[in-house]
Every structure is written in structure tokens, then in C-alpha cells.
Amino acid sequence: MNPLSARRLLAVMPHPDDEAYAAAGTLALAAQRGAETALLCVTAGEGGGDAAVRYAEVSAACRACGTALLPILGWPDGALPAFAERPSANAALQRVFVAWRPDVILGLGSDGVYGHLDHLALHQLLRRACAAYASDVPSVSLWEACFPVAHFHPVWRGLRRGKFPGVGKGWTPERFGTAVLPEDLVVDISDVAPQKRAAITAHESQLRGRAAEDFLLPGLMAPLLRREHWREVALVPTSEVAAG
């Protein structure tokens, strides 16, 4: 099932604001089509500002998209690589899945958008958690956000120059993003661009200016206000792995 056909669509993101640039258009379109949509942030984003402020911002972003905000899990911002390896982290996601019963789950891809170590850690954990959930709900599908090739490399480069410890070394431009494959889902979000723009600008503490297009770097968001690109992950239920 693709995200726009979902009955219950859940986006799982590392920090408040990741949902805005990666998934706000798809969430808004799915909600318009009658789906129940929700966002789960695993951290409060305290590494990038006051947690209470960031909670208010992500709440406003969800309202712009017609999306429910689930209770934030409160995992440590900036320390997800170690935390996500704990069995309790997988168990916490399983509890959310069982309680909310999504049929489609959205996450970030294997490039971590711009090589962010928290993003990469949640990406890996979410694949494991969805595979475990698929043992009980085989119809569930996981879709990961894709971006144009090299699009976020300037963000990585700027963070490296600023000695930000949350991104890895040695990432070349071609390691970021991906070309569209025939089996991918490319969502035209032009009809809900105002909602996505509102979701991005709701994260006022993270903006360089006032325009949604200038989030992270000037002009970076412009193409992402026209379309969102998703790729489905082949989930192997853990029961099948054990049987094999």
C-alpha cells in the first residue's frame, strides 16, 4: 500500500522539523483523502533549542498538515546511535505500532538526509522495528524519503566546517539522495504546498529567515515544495527470518 492509499499513516522522525521538509506534503494530502495521519518524534529536539519551544513548533506544524502529534518518546537528541541499539528502543516503537496500528509508516532514508548520525540510527532501527511489526501485521509497508542526488551535500559540508559532531566524515556528493526509480512514488504536492510551507515555517527557532524556501540553506527547500519522493522498503517479517 502506498502512503496516499493508507487508512492510518504514521511518520516516524528523529527530531521536530524533520517531518516538515521530508513528509509534510504527503501527510497533508493523505489527510485530505481521509486517512488518519500521525507523527511520532523520538526526540524532543533539545539539541537544537529549548524542548518546550520545539514542542510548540512541531504541534503547529502538525496542525498545518491535519496530522496528530503522538507523545514524544524523549530519546536523547544527539545520542541516538547508541540509544537505538538498546532492545528497549525497539520495544518502545513496537508499543506505538500496536497502539496506533498504522498500515503505512514513513521514515528517512539510508543517507540520513545529510549524513546526520541520529537520522541514520533511527533509519536502521525503524527498518528492524517495522520488520518485527510485520510479523503480526504483514500488510504494513515502510516508505523512506528520497531527495535529489547531492541536494543535501552543502548542508553536510557546512556542518563539517562548523565542526558539528552529529555528521560523519568523508561523504561525497553522490552519497546523498537518489535518482527516481520506476517503482518509486513521486507525490505532486503542489496543491498542498501552502500547508508544507506553513509546517516548515512553524519551526521558527530553526529558520535562518522567514521563508520556508530558506530552511537549512537559502533556496534549498524550493524543489521540495513541489514534490516528495518515496521508496518502499522490502520488509521481511522476523518470523520468516526465524523460519528460514
* Residue range 76-116, pLDDT digits in tens: 999 999 999 999 999 999 999 999 999 999 999 999 999 99
Name the residue type at position 166: G
The neighbouring-strand residues paired with 116 are: 167
DSSP 114-153: HHBHHHHHHHHHHHHHHHHHHTT-TT-EEEEEE--TTTTH
Q: Report whether 100 contacts 38 (CB < 8 A).
A: yes
For 103, the grid coordinates are 498500515
What pLDDT is attached to residue 214?
87
Residues 121-166: tens digit of each pLDDT: 999 999 999 999 999 999 999 999 999 999 999 999 999 999 999 9
Arithmetic mean of pLDDT over the chain:
95
DSSP 167: B
Provide the pLDDT confidence category of residue 241 given band limits of 50, 70 and 90.
very low
Indicate the domain borders of the chain: 3-234
Q: Report whether 99 contacts 91 (CB < 8 A).
A: no
What pLDDT is attached to residue 208?
81
Res. 243: pLDDT tops 80: no
What pLDDT is attached to residue 210?
77
DSSP 13-66: ESSTTHHHHHHHHHHHHHHHTT-EEEEEESB--GGGS-HHHHHHHHHHHHHHHT
Provide the pLDDT confidence category of residue 239 given band limits of 50, 70 and 90.
low
Q: Report whether 233 contacts 124 (CB < 8 A).
A: no
Residues 176-209: tens digit of each pLDDT: 999 999 999 999 999 999 999 999 999 999 998 7
Q: Which residue has the cell 509508516?
A: 105
Residues 29-41: tens digit of each pLDDT: 999 999 999 999 9
As a CATH number, domain 3-234 is 3.40.50.10320
Residues 202-230: tens digit of each pLDDT: 999 999 877 899 899 999 999 999 999 99
Res. 242: pLDDT tops 60: no
Provide the pLDDT confidence category of residue 120 given band limits of 50, 70 and 90.
very high
Name the residue type at position 194: P
SS3 104: strand
DSSP 226-239: TEEEEEEE----HH
Angle at which helices 87-100 and 117-134 cross, to 10°: 60
Res. 49: pLDDT tops 90: yes
Task: Report residue 121: phi and psi, to 5°.
Answer: -65, -45
